[in-house]
Amino acid sequence: MKTKSLPAKGINRREFIQSTARATAALSLWSAAPYVARGRVLGANDTIGVGYIGVGGRGSSHIATVRRLIEGGEKAKVVAVCDVYRYRLNEAAKPTGAKAYMKHKELLADPNVDAVCIATPDRLHVPQALDAIRAGKDVYCEKPMGHWSQFDLSRKFYEETIKLKRVVQIGNQGNSSPAWHKVRELVQQGAVGRVQLVTLGFYRRGDWGERMPIPDPQAKPGPDLDWEAFLGDAPKVPFTVNRFFSWRKYLDYAGGPCTDLFPHVFTPFVSAIGLKFPSRVVASGGIFKYTTYDREVPDTFNMCLDYPEKLSIVLPCSLANDYPPEAAIRGDEGTLTLQNPGEWNAGFDSITIVPPKGESRVYPAGKMDPTPKHWQNFLSCVRSREKPVSDVEFGLHVTAALNMAMLSLLKEKVAKFDFAKTKIVI
């Protein structure tokens, strides 16, 4: 890895102010654009029609979440489902009575659909989300916002969301976790002074890359499986059941821990500290564990990010084992640590502030799956036209960092961010 090209010094104060001013100007579209519904205008008592694009593992779980919210009084209805694999499509349509579509554009043309949930493989998120906002729908888009090769398209999605005044929630559900709200509150109250270094880790025994099941080894493209639609804008390669069902192993559709797992751990820190685009990112790693099968995505991934606020984040990840990580947010007036995290976005047991001298302070936190709260936030914003907690602008900041890290690893170079053009330079 060519880390020699990293400048020895950080940027100076004038450069920092200029670069953040440019970034703010580029992104101030957001605050200048109040949300006004261009699709159906929904009143407080109207039922929101929800359509699902991609009803595999996560899509089905989102259907179950929204159905539970409906049982609890939420005014929404599962009106349509779409999948390119007919077996899953039928399984999702049966219990819900939703209209079934094999093509996402046909679901988007359905006037009963007000909002869509996109839970397809990563490479399809942004193209389908763009189609959805252009069709006048609001969008709950699963993480990662875009595939690692699609930063310019992700920026287009951000720009058009503002222009078309759509409500977009990115599926970084950690942003709806009360434990993370407490971290944000403490950091922003200055509990550790000015944050300069964040160190954390993500450790698991294995990942979904190697575990994704192949339910039908005889499956073939045809009327019950649309391979062309699965590929989207990915290279046109012949069908294999591995690529179709175990797509997380392949770089054309996924990125491994950086884009699949880091949205859960890195994202809540970005949100808690209030960061935007990093100025430079370098990554290392490779396939160090799963060396015996056709996995293309790394299983070991370490990334270092510098932000213009003169702050670094260091995040190693290994799938060798799940020995617990430690996390620390260090400022010049103290260190914030998190105790006993489970799945990161679900929270942790407590937060400790360790000052340079004197007693530590401990704040209770707690773990819960924040996905239902994330949906409630989205649905309430669909009505109010307010900005959701994990909106498209936040999604773009996170996706920039993760895309830069992937490109750094694959190209063996330092990735830099051009704040004036909102572009990755590598």
Q: Which residues bind ligand NAD (CB under 6 A)?
A: 53-59, 82-85, 88, 104, 119-122, 124, 142-143, 171, 173, 229-230, 260
The nearer residue to ligand NAD, 212 or 354, going by C-beta atoms, is 212
What is residue 267's three-state secondary structure?
A: helix
CB 160 within 8 A of CB 275: no
Q: What is the DSSP letter of 328?
A: E
CB of 48 to ligand NAD, least distance (A): 20
CB of 296 to ligand NAD, least distance (A): 16
CB 170 within 8 A of CB 158: no
The nearer residue to ligand NAD, 114 or 260, going by C-beta atoms, is 260
CB of 128 to ligand NAD, least distance (A): 7
Residue type, 12: N
Gap between the Cα atoms of 9 and 48, Å rounded: 52
CB of 245 to ligand NAD, least distance (A): 7
CB of 55 to ligand NAD, least distance (A): 6
- Residue carrying the six token digits 């193209």: 127
The nearer residue to ligand NAD, 254 or 414, going by C-beta atoms, is 254
Cis amide leading into 324 (omega within 30) = no
The nearer residue to ligand NAD, 176 or 302, going by C-beta atoms, is 176
CA 94 to chain CA centroid, nearest Å? 29
- Residue carrying the six token digits 């820190």: 269
Cβ-based neighbour number of residue 411 at 10 Å? 12
- Residue carrying the six token digits 């669909």: 382
The nearer residue to ligand NAD, 105 or 156, going by C-beta atoms, is 105
CB of 14 to ligand NAD, least distance (A): 40
CB of 382 to ligand NAD, least distance (A): 19
- Residue carrying the six token digits 């299983």: 299
In the chain, count H helices and then E strands: 15, 18
Gap between the Cα atoms of 305 and 401, Å rounded: 8
The nearer residue to ligand NAD, 88 or 155, going by C-beta atoms, is 88
**Tokens (6 digits) for 227:** 């391979």
Closest CA to 98 of 152, 62, 58: 62
The nearer residue to ligand NAD, 46 or 296, going by C-beta atoms, is 296
**Tokens (6 digits) for 51:** 């359509």
The residue at minimum Cβ distance from ligand NAD is: 56
